[in-house]
Amino acid sequence: MNKQRILVVGQTPPPYGGQAIMIQRLLEGNYSSVELLHVRLHFSKGLNKTGKVELRKILHLIKVVLEIYWKRVLKRPKVFLYHPGGPSRVSMIKDVFILITCRWLFDKTVLYFHAAGISELYGGLSRFTKPLFRWAFFRADYAIKVLESSYPDPEILQSRRIRHFPIGVPDYSNDIHVKPEDQNNIHCPKILFLGAIYESKGIFDLIEACARLAGENAEFSLELVGEFESEGLQENINRVIKDRGLSDRTNIHGILVGQDKTSVFATADIFCLPTFFHAENSPQVIVEAMCFGLPVVATNWRGIPSIVEDGRSGFLVPINDSQLLSEKLGLLLRDEALRKKMGEYGRDTYLKTFSLDQFYRNHEIFFDEVTSG
């Protein structure tokens, strides 16, 4: 049977962001009725290069458009599946250029919103640039949101049909079944932060919360995993950690992938993401933490309340509230039974809603729908 073809345009790692990982996961699926073709966006090699205009990026943008045209002619995909970036002007210009030059080539256009907030930019555009934005983003044939309660970009952009597909995460927890204890059977609880390290991910709120806990003589270590946005931010974080007396309690790991990433999840006790990141939507890393049975302390921001049930799988706190963040982390540090209970509830939520099998089933059904007719 000849499979229908869909052209997917989007970034895959590196750098290791949630959207890039999800696109890679989507492409790795084995679909019975469709073949996914891919044009890779690769504008930045690291977080310190994102949002910056460079000649190399302009040339890559032209190359991307030419590759889309080439694959449309040779492979004849009828569906164009595009992943818009977040609400930054540089990302928007890239998206507008690709969509305006390529969207018209295809029978159907699907916009897949992993990042949130692109529609927020529309109101600030001039009367000359608003028509270009509308031509690029408005009235797509389909739009995909991670959850029904995710940021309403598709609704604002008047997408004709909207579908909701939860994040899919592999069950890596099967690789490690027992958390290692040291030889004296003394366990110091670990608070884990994992992801791209921006100031707006709430990293300084987390450090301040941990400083409060240290002042109360709480036993814990802080594990920071991920790529720093810049060397300047890394230096600032190191300075604040030292000034707040947390040097002996903090381990900075950098980027971890594969078994190393699995191990850091498996040996953690609490996952914390106090984010207010402008492009945050429904963070995949929270689902990964729930997969490992970790209670989650996160902010009541964007689509996070649709993943973390406050008081059941973890706690939600307002953004920039380091005091309440400290209180919720302290509650979990002091109560191992509560950590276990919340972690088990989160694990059940993962299995019911966010498993990789369910992710692929949802997309198989959707691909059949979008390629029919």
Indicate the residue type of 92. Answer: M
Q: Which pLDDT does position 1 carry in this prediction?
A: 64
Q: Which pLDDT does position 14 carry in this prediction?
A: 81
Q: How many CA atoms lie within 13 A of 266 on its CB side?
A: 17
Q: Which pLDDT does position 147 carry in this prediction?
A: 83
Q: Which pLDDT does position 65 carry in this prediction?
A: 98
Q: Which pLDDT does position 172 carry in this prediction?
A: 83
CA 214 – CA 333 distance, rounded (Å): 12
The length of the chain in residues reads 373
CA 72 – CA 75 distance, rounded (Å): 6
Count Cβ atoms below 10 Å from residue 345 Cβ, excluding itself.
18
| Domains of the chain: residue spans and CATH | 4-167+355-371 (3.40.50.2000), 172-353 (3.40.50.2000)
What is the mean pLDDT, run by run of 10 residues, along the chain of 373 residues? 92 85 94 96 71 83 97 97 92 96 98 92 93 97 90 95 94 63 66 96 98 97 95 96 97 93 96 95 94 97 94 98 98 97 97 94 96 83
Report helix, strand or coil for 224: strand
Q: How many CA atoms lie within 13 A of 170 on its CB side?
A: 13
Q: Which pLDDT does position 181 carry in this prediction?
A: 46
Q: Which pLDDT does position 184 carry in this prediction?
A: 43
Q: Are strands 296-299 and 4-11 parallel, antiparallel or unpaired?
A: unpaired
Query: Which phi and psi angles does 362 have, rounded to 5°?
Result: -60, -45
Nearest one of 138, 122, 118 to 130, comparing CA atoms: 122
Q: Which pLDDT does position 183 carry in this prediction?
A: 40
Q: What is the pTM of this model?
A: 0.89
pLDDT tens digit sequence for 56-85? 889 999 999 999 999 999 999 999 999 998
